[in-house]
């Protein structure tokens, strides 16, 4: 019988769960079911012609390089996770960076020059805010911060020299949303680029490319890594913007994710959709319980039925994630610190997105609040929701929060 030649499956067209397991992995090097790590800095050539052809290769960043040259620019392991990221984000191209901040700073620098103006959401990730407010002015780039819930406030903040609208939706700590479609439409008309920090959703819960946002950036330290054992970041955008970014920020700032970290991300991406579903289920249960407690003033959680921006949430996102914050009636920091230390499962620490539950009390002052307030942010890990609730209950008993 003649051999039947089947076409290669189109993994990109399949659902994220299927795509994450197989896209870019058809090669099966030496039959290995898991792709090898290309742990090398450079690539060698047998002939001068091959070397020159690789150097002259007009690289299309949406397809893996046929021959890599140097791992600051390309590496097969870096390319593989970038392909998966692009498919997950519904974007043409994806690339991993050495940290979320490396991805964010590269994106901001790609969209600004001396004399540019940026409009940015006030409750964005702290170091992003500081980068725009304190660091970029030394290159002549100024930023206006906005609450961002009302797109009109963003439009009004734009000036003739605005070159970037930088969003974070849901934003950090209190999870404000921005109307991605309306903002992208306005920005396209004004020829302003748009970027979003998509870390909360990490491409599983929200695909900004579908709303015509130019760049989706994420920390990959959180859900992409998923095990609190690596630091990484990601950018997804069009071919044109990625080619520009690789040639400039990729080349000059030079912060690609290393091959071993890429391979760890590859491993973790296989279970991302499962982990996110579980984190959300647990966060919903714990947040609903916290909301009913007499010591709780307010819960900030995207997944609650009374989330104020529920209509926008349902339009842009497929669901909530594992993070939420609450405002305790108790505003004495010493007592909140005692509460945090009395917790036995939730550990005191920054970051989130791993297997373990985390708690951090923080003083927060968004621009539309009259005064600073103490909030407690909880990341709900992969432990059982009932054990997490019991942990909070016992910690409240030990330290006696004001009701």
* Contacting positions for ligand PLP (CB under 6 A): 99-101, 125, 172, 197, 199, 219, 221-222, 231, 233
Kindly tell me which of 93 and 101 has the beta carbon lying closer to ligand PLP.
101
Q: Do the Cβ atoms of 378 and 286 come closer than 8 Å? A: yes
In angstroms, give the least distance from the CB of 304 to ligand PLP.
20
Kindly tell me which of 172 and 282 has the beta carbon lying closer to ligand PLP.
172
Residues constituting the chain:
403
d(CA 170, CA 320): 9
Kindly tell me which of 24 and 100 has the beta carbon lying closer to ligand PLP.
100
Dihedrals phi, psi of 74, to nearest 5 degrees = -145, 150
Residues 6+ away with beta carbon under 8 Å from 170: 176, 177, 200, 201, 302
Kindly tell me which of 176 and 222 has the beta carbon lying closer to ligand PLP.
222
In angstroms, give the least distance from the CB of 121 to ligand PLP.
11
d(CA 15, CA 1): 34
Residues 6+ away with beta carbon under 8 Å from 315: 181
In angstroms, give the least distance from the CB of 266 to ligand PLP.
17
In angstroms, give the least distance from the CB of 221 to ligand PLP.
4
Q: Do the Cβ atoms of 118 and 136 come closer than 8 Å? A: yes
Kindly tell me which of 175 and 186 has the beta carbon lying closer to ligand PLP.
175
In angstroms, give the least distance from the CB of 101 to ligand PLP.
4
d(CA 318, CA 206): 6
Residue closest to ligand PLP (Cβ)? 100
In angstroms, give the least distance from the CB of 30 to ligand PLP.
33
In angstroms, give the least distance from the CB of 253 to ligand PLP.
14
d(CA 304, CA 287): 8
Q: Do the Cβ atoms of 177 and 198 come closer than 8 Å? A: no
Q: Which two tokens stand for residue 350?
A: 């920054």
Kindly tell me which of 97 and 346 has the beta carbon lying closer to ligand PLP.
97
Kindly tell me which of 219 and 268 has the beta carbon lying closer to ligand PLP.
219
What is the side-by-side order of every strand in the sheet holding 347-348? 296-300, 323-328, 373-379, 358-364, 347-348
Kindly tell me which of 219 and 357 has the beta carbon lying closer to ligand PLP.
219
Residues 6+ away with beta carbon under 8 Å from 160: none
In angstroms, give the least distance from the CB of 66 to ligand PLP.
31
Residues 6+ away with beta carbon under 8 Å from 267: 34
Termini Cα distance of the chain: 79
Q: Do the Cβ atoms of 219 and 225 come closer than 8 Å? A: no
């Amino acid at each position: 019988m003649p051999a039947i030649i089947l076409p290669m499956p189109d993994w990109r067209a399949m659902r994220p769960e299927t795509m994450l397991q197989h896209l870019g992995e058809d090669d099966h090097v030496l039959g290995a079911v898991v792709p090898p790590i290309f742990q090398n800095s450079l690539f060698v050539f047998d002939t001068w012609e091959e070397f020159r052809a690789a150097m002259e290769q007009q690289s299309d960043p949406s397809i893996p390089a046929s021959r890599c040259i140097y791992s600051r620019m390309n590496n097969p392991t870096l390319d593989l996770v970038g392909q998966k990221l692009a498919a997950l984000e519904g974007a043409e191209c994806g690339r991993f960076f050495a940290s979320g901040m490396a991805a964010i700073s590269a994106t901001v620098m790609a969209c600004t020059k001396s004399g540019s103006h940026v409009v940015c959401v006030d409750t964005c990730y702290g170091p992003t805010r500081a980068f725009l407010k304190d660091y970029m002015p030394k290159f002549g780039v100024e930023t206006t911060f906005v609450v961002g819930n009302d797109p009109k406030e963003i439009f009004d903040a734009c000036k003739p020299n605005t070159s970037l609208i930088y969003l974070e939706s849901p934003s950090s700590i209190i999870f404000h949303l921005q109307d991605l479609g309306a903002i992208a439409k306005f920005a396209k008309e004004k020829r302003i680029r748009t970027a979003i920090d998509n870390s909360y959703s990490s491409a599983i819960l929200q695909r900004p490319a579908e709303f015509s946002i130019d760049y989706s950036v994420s920390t990959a330290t959180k859900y992409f890594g998923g095990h609190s054992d690596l630091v990484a970041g990601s950018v997804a955008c069009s071919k044109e913007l990625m080619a520009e970014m690789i040639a400039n920020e990729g080349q000059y700032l030079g912060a690609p994710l290393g091959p071993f970290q890429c391979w760890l991300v590859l491993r973790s991406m296989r279970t991302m959709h499962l982990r996110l579903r579980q984190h959300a289920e647990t966060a919903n249960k714990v947040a609903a319980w916290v909301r009913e407690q007499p010591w709780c003033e307010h819960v900030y959680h995207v997944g609650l039925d009374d989330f104020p921006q529920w209509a926008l949430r349902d339009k842009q996102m497929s669901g909530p994630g594992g993070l939420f914050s609450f405002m305790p009636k108790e505003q004495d920091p010493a007592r909140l610190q005692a509460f945090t230390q009395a917790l036995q499962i939730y550990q005191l620490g920054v970051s989130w997105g791993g297997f373990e539950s985390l708690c951090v009390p923080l003083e927060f002052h968004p621009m539309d609040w009259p005064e600073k307030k103490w909030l407690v942010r909880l990341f709900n890990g992969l432990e059982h929701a009932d054990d997490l609730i019991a942990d909070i209950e016992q910690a409240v008993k030990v330290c006696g929060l004001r009701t």
